[in-house]
Amino acid sequence: MSVFTQVTPLAPIAASTIDARVGRVPDEIIEAWREHGAGYLGDDGFVRLIDPDRADTMLEGVIGFPEGATVVFATGLGDLIAYVAGRWWVVLFRWGTIDVTEVDVTDAFLSMIQSDAGQDRVLERQPYPAAAMREHIPGVDQCFGFVPLLALGGPPTADHLQLGGLWEHIALIVQLAGPPQPRGQLAL
């Protein structure tokens, strides 16, 4: 039985990709990849379960994660969530920050990313819902990006969000503003 209460499957993930991550990510993630592939969590598409091989390919030469890291989720605002040595890394590219959980908090973390309150507090989801209602839910390789970028003085409002490519948006932010920096420990 899946730990996720609602998943909209979008694309299968190759068995070889999943098998290569056994022992590197929590069993709940392996199970979800096998059962659903890549897809949206919840009904608004903000958090997406993604194909880790696709993430590795698209991030090569853009930003390096530590050895053994696996990108598991992306958000509708162009951020990534990776699992690294027993900890969840929330990489908010738009703010240029990385927050890291304590070790072994997977149950609490997976619960948090499925709740509106948790997404608002930890993943800083606002103003995504307004943009998704105005446009539509971005595809798994798409996101809303602030124009101009927040790092360049853009305001964090829904009317400054434009639909674009997830991986291109991340590359642009890293190129113009630099890689995200550690901010602190994430309190769940």
Q: Note whether 50 and 166 are within 8 A (CB).
A: no
Domain boundaries, the chain: 7-185
Q: Note whether 107 and 88 are within 8 A (CB).
A: no
- Give dist(CA 186, CA 188) in Å, integer: 6
pTM here?
0.96
- Give dist(CA 16, CA 14) in Å, integer: 5
Terminal CA-CA length for the chain: 24
The secondary element (H helix, E strand) that includes residue 8 is strand 7-11
Local confidence pLDDT in tens for the 188 residues of the chain:
578 999 999 999 999 999 999 999 999 999 999 999 999 999 999 999 999 999 999 999 999 899 999 999 999 999 999 999 999 999 999 999 999 999 889 999 999 999 999 999 999 999 999 999 999 999 999 999 999 999 999 999 999 999 999 999 999 999 999 999 999 898 87
Q: What angle do CA 38, 167, 47 make, to 5 degrees?
A: 40
Look at residues 25, 28, 26, 24 and name the one whose alpha carbon lies nearest to residue 36: 28
Report the residue count for the chain.
188
- Give dist(CA 136, CA 91) in Å, integer: 24
Question: Could you read off the pLDDT of 54-71 as tens digits, one per residue?
Answer: 999 999 999 989 999 999
